[in-house]
Amino acid sequence: MMEIPYTVAVRRDTGLTNGKIGIWLFLASEVMLFGALFASYILIRAGAPSWPRGDSILNVPLATFNTIVLISSSITMVMAWASLMRGRFGTFRIYMGGTILLGFVFLVVKYFEYSHKFHDGLFPSSNNFLAIYFTLTGLHMLHVLGGMAVNAYFWGPGAKLWKTNPVWFTNRVENSGLFWHFVDLVWIFLFPTLYLL
């Protein structure tokens, strides 16, 4: 009976664990997903007779705040992992909790943004600017939710693994951190593209 090797220890010639490779491959596919939407945005905008400036329709201060929130959640995420590397489970809990909380704040702000738009009669169907805005930020939001769910799992029930296999747990937190940073990275490009240009 054989177990799956390189789940915890790295393979010598690649220097990597399976999970690390797996998450980067997944992120590569996500680059293509958001890339396709960016390509669509470029083509639609290039072909439009006129295109509104983002700040004339969207709420820049609120989005700036959200950008700061998301970047902060990235630092708490990496600190959560660093805490595990230092063997400090309690600190991990605090930082990971912070990450989840900041993600929640991001979602709440987006809720207010969206409902304000709907209230003003601005829907995806109103024009192509809004269509691409809602689609891009909507898909991004789904990724934030997904990341939060995974983080919540590692904060909560998944944390049991720290007792039985701390190295594996640390690696898994690092990998979910990579996903979370990617979600932040997408927003770093989305924010100026949609709101400021």
Partner 1 sequence: MTSDQAALTGDHAVDIDKHVKVYIVVFVALMALTLITVAVSYLHLPTKTAIALALFIATIKGSLVACYFMHLISEKKLIYVVLLITVIKFAALLALPAFTHGNSYGIFE
Partner 2 sequence: MSHPGATAPPTPHVPHGSHHEEELGFWRKYVFSVDHKVIGIQYAITGMLFLLFGFSLMMLMRWQLAYPGSALPLLGSMLGEVRMPGGIMQPDFYNELGAMHGTIMVFLGVVPLAVGGFGNFVVPLQIGAPDMAFPRLNMASYWFFFLGGVTMLASFFVPGGAAQGGWTSYPPLAILLGTGQTWWLIGMIFLITSSLLGAINFITTTIQLRAKGLTYFRFPFFVWAQFVTAFLLLLAFPPLEAAAVLQLMDRLAGTSFFLPTGLVVSGQVLTNAGGGNPILWQHLFWFLAHPEVYVLILPGMGIVAEIVANNTRKPLWGYRPMVYSLLFLGFMSFIVWAHHMFMTGMGTGMAAFFQTTTMIISIPSVVILTALIMSLWGGSIRFTTPMLFALGFLPMFGIGGLTGLPLGFNISDIPLHDTYYVIGHFHYVVAPGTIFALFAGVYYWYPKATGRLMNETLGRIHFFGSFVCMNVIFMPMFFIGLAGVSRRLFDGGASYAFAQPVLHLNVVSSWGAWILALFQIPFIFNFFWSAWKGAKAGDNPWDATTIEWAAPSPPPHGNFLKAPEAYRGPYEYSVPGAAKDFTPQYEA
Q: Residue numbers of the site for partner 1 (CB under 8 A)?
A: 8-10, 14-17, 20-21, 24-25, 28, 31-32, 35-36, 38-39, 42-43, 46-49, 55, 60, 64, 67-68, 71-72, 74-75, 77-79, 82, 85-87, 166-167, 170-171, 177-178, 181-182, 184-185, 188-189, 191-193, 196-197
Phi–psi pair at 125, nearest 5 degrees: -80, -5
Tell me the sheet residues that pair with 8.
none
175 contact, one of partner 2, partner 1, none, CB 5-8 Å limit per kind: none
Give percent helix, percent strand, percent coil of the chain, each to the nearest 5. Answer: 80, 0, 20
- Residue 177 and residue 77 in contact, taking contact as beta carbons nearer than 8 Å: yes
Residue 90 makes contact with partner 2 by CB under 8 A: no
Start-to-end CA span in the chain (Å): 59
Residue 45 Cβ vs partner 1, minimum distance, rounded to whole Å: 10
Q: Measuring CA to CA, which residue among 108, 109, 111, 121 is closest to residue 57?
A: 121
Binding site for partner 2 (CB under 8 A): 1-12, 14, 16, 18, 21-22, 25-26, 28-30, 32-37, 39-40, 43-44, 47-49, 123-128, 131-132, 134-135, 139, 161, 164-165, 167-168
